[in-house]
Amino acid sequence: MIPPAAANRPQARVVRRFPHAPERVTAGEVGAGQPQTMDHQLRALIELHGVFTRKEALALGYHDRAIALLVRIGDWVRVRRGAYVLGDGWAGLGANGRYGVLCRAVVRQANTDVVLSHLSSANEYDAPLWDCDLTTVHVTRPDERAGRAEAGVVQHRGVIARGGVTGDQACGEACGEACGEAGDEDVEVRNGVSVMSATRTALELTTLLDVEHALVEIDYLLHNGHTTPEKLRARYEAMTYWPRTLTTDLVLRLADGRSESVGESRARFLCWTQHLPAPVPNYPILDERGLDVARVDLAWPELGVFLEFDGKVKYQRHLREGESVVDCVLREKQRESRICELTGWRCIRIVWADLYKPVETADRIRRLFRTAAA
C-alpha cells in the first residue's frame, strides 16, 4: 500500500532515451496554430528558400519550447543558429545536399545581398567537392564592404561592374585581401539562388584549393560543359591583382574536360607529379572496321599502354538493369581482353588506394612502359 504522503508527492517526469520511440508533440506543446496547416506552411518555405527561420516558425504559432522539443526528437533539424529544415527531408540528403542547405541558410540570414561563390557556388553545379570543407560557406558581397566575422562563413567582397569585367579592380575578403571584381557575366541564378558563373567559380577555386583539389573540380566543370578552356583563359587574364593565384595558370594548363571522374583526374595529376608522360584521357578504341567500340580512362598510344581506374562509383555507373556487380566486373574483364586484342596494348588497373602511393604506382606504370616497348 502506498502511503498517502507518497501518493500526493509530485512524480518525476520520465524522459525517453530511445531515438526510435520519440515523444508525441501535442497541439498544446506546438503553439496556437493548427499542426497540419503549420507543417504545410513550413514545407512551402523550405521549397521556396531551402530552410525556414525561427522568426517564421514563431509567426506560424510555434514557441521556443516546441522548437527545442521538435529538434530533440528529430522532427526538425537545426542547420545553423535560427535556421531549420524538417527531419524527413534532411535524412534523405547526402553530404553535398546538406551543404547546399547550409549555404541557403546563410544566404537567407545575411543582412545584405550576397552571392554564393568558391566551393559554395561549385556545389550548385553538382561539382564533386572531393575532400573539401563542407562546414564553411563562401559568399561574395557585391557592395565592396567587409561583413562582420561569423563562424562558418567567409564573406568575400567585390563589385559587379555594369560595364563589363574589370578584374584588376580591388575587392577582398573580410580579412582585407583582394579577390577580384565581378562582372555581369560572373553572376547567374541556379536552383533558385544567386551564384558565381562556372567560369569565375573555377578560377576562385584555384585561390582556395591546392592544385590537385582544384583540378578535380575544374575537370568536372569542363566535362559537363559549364565552362570552356577559352572562357577560363580569357577570364584569367583579368585577374592580375587577385591574391593566391600563383598556381592558377598551372591548374588551367593541367585541366582537361575529357576526364570523367575524380579518380581519373587524380590519376592524371599523379602522372604529372611523378614526371610520367601525359596520358590521353578517355581515349577511343576502334575495331577492325574503324568503329568506336570502347574508351579507356587514360592511354599512352605511342607506348602501347592504357590505364583503367577501378572505383566503386565506376561499376555502379555502368551497372545494367538486372545485373549484379559481379556480372559488371566480368563484363569489364571481357572488355579489357577485347581492347588488348584490338590494340596489342597492355593494361594497368589502379584503385583509390593507389593514388595515395604515387611513387609506387608510378613505378608500376613505368615498368609496363618498358615491357610494352620490349
228-282 pLDDT per residue, tens: 999 999 999 888 778 889 999 999 999 999 999 999 999 999 999 999 999 999 9
Same domain as 213, residue 197: yes
CA distance 84 to 171: 32
pLDDT score at 31: 53
CB–CB of 44/37 below 8 Å? no
Q: Residue 180's pLDDT is what? A: 52
Query: pLDDT tens for residues 93-119?
Result: 999 999 999 999 999 999 888 999 999
Q: Does 369 or 180 have the greater pLDDT score?
A: 369
3-state secondary structure string, 301-331? HHHCEEEEEECHHHHHHCCCCCCCHHHHHHH
What lies within 8 Å, CB to CB, of 349 at 6+ separation is 307, 308, 309, 310
Last residue of a domain, one of 254, 275, 310: 254
Domain assignment present for 96: no
- 103 occurs within a structural domain: no
The C-alpha atoms of residue 219 and residue 252 are separated, in whole angstroms, by 10
Rounded Cα gap, residues 362 and 155, in angstroms: 41
Residue whose C-alpha cell is 593514388: 355
Residues 155 and 245 in one domain: yes
Query: Same domain, yes or no, for 211 and 123?
Result: yes
Please say which residue of 91, 125, 153 terminates a domain: 91
* Structural domain contains residue 4: no
**Among 29, 56, 91, residue at a domain's last position:** 91
| pLDDT tens digits along 296-340 | 999 999 999 999 998 665 555 666 677 676 666 677 788 888 999
List pLDDT tens digits, range 115-126: 999 999 999 999
Could you list the residue range(s) of the whole structural domain that residue 178 is in? Answer: 111-254
Q: Specify if 328 maps to a domain.
A: yes
Mean pLDDT (whole number) for 179-186: 60
| In a shared domain, residues 83 and 133 | no
Looking at the structure, tell me whether residues 74 and 25 fall in a common domain: yes
Q: Is residue 185 part of a domain?
A: yes
Residues 132 and 240 in one domain: yes
pLDDT of 167 higher than 50 = no
Nearest residue to 186 (alpha-carbon basis) of 161, 211, 151: 161
The count of other CB atoms within 10 Å of the CB of residue 204 is 28
Q: Are residues 230 and 120 in the same domain?
A: yes
Same domain membership, residue 238 and residue 282 = no
Q: Are residues 64 and 181 in the same domain?
A: no
